[in-house]
Amino acid sequence: MSTLSIPKSLIQMFENDTVVGWAIKDRTSKFVYVNKAFKIWQTISTTYDYEGLKIHDVPVPVAEFADIFEQQERFVESSGTVLRAITTHIQGREKIMQPVYNIQEPLYDENGLCIGTVISVRHVNILTPTSLLNGKLNQHATFQTPSELFTEKEWEVMYLLLCNLSLKEISNVLGISVDAVNGRLRSSFKKTGVNSSTALVDFCRTNRFDNYIPQFFLKKGHIVITG
């Protein structure tokens, strides 16, 4: 069990934050403190006790990146550098594949000695290709299905259609035949009462479905932001 002395004011600030996940680790990467928002981001019960554990001891999806996290924590502690990264994995209250903004920064004691790492995890605003194509720079991506109207396979075609891809390009991206793409489109036409791809695109934009990125296009990863 760690004996780190953490200022009560810092803990109080973290406790009151219901949006950003906060955690503190000692110099061996053992958890000293975790707030409820952090546990929610990691898809685990808010009553789970992290104290004294390393991330690979905790049954959460991002534990897969434990070795990477520990290497970065040693770098942060030895260099005094703040590391910022985008971590994509199954996470959040929805327990779906989605990216989050992850910050690791050194924690110092009253004598200026580094005693561990402070970690924060928060929602990241990402612009979709359709937002850029249509100049909607204030419309950010969502990763949870916005409606049960379409199947996930139909959403995949819809997303690429909204990105202005041709039927042939859509078939190449999804690894299916053009006939299969047309089959999914016909099903979508029937569900929406439209009879063309253009009308289907308009339907999606009107209903604000054009900011959804299907799970098919999200891949697990941890990318450090440089520059």
How confident is the model at residue 138, as a pLDDT?
66
Task: Specify the CATH class of 8-124 in words.
Answer: alpha beta
Distances in Å between the Cα of 100 and the Cα atoms of 42, 127, 128, 159, 202 are 11, 14, 15, 21, 30
* Residue 176 CB-density burial (10 A; 0-12 exposed, 13-18 middle, 19+ buried): middle
Residue in the structure block whose two tokens are 């929805």: 94
How confident is the model at residue 137, as a pLDDT?
63
How confident is the prediction along the chain (227 residues), in pLDDT tens digits per residue?
346 778 889 999 999 999 999 999 999 999 999 999 999 999 999 999 999 999 999 999 999 999 999 999 999 999 999 999 999 999 999 999 999 999 999 999 989 999 999 999 999 888 777 777 667 666 788 999 999 999 999 999 999 999 999 999 999 999 999 999 999 999 999 999 999 999 999 999 999 899 999 999 999 999 999 86
121 token code pair: 């995890």
Q: Residue 50: count other Cβ atoms within 10 Å of its Cβ.
A: 22
How confident is the model at residue 125, as a pLDDT?
84
Residue ranges covered by each domain of the chain: 8-124, 129-217
Compute, in degrees rounded to 10, the torsion defined by CA atoms 56, 75, 34, 5. Answer: 120
* Residue 55 CB-density burial (10 A; 0-12 exposed, 13-18 middle, 19+ buried): buried
The structure's pTM equals 0.85
CA distance 57 to 193: 51
How confident is the model at residue 22, as a pLDDT?
98
Residues in the chain: 227
How confident is the model at residue 1, as a pLDDT?
38
CATH number of 129-217: 1.10.10.10
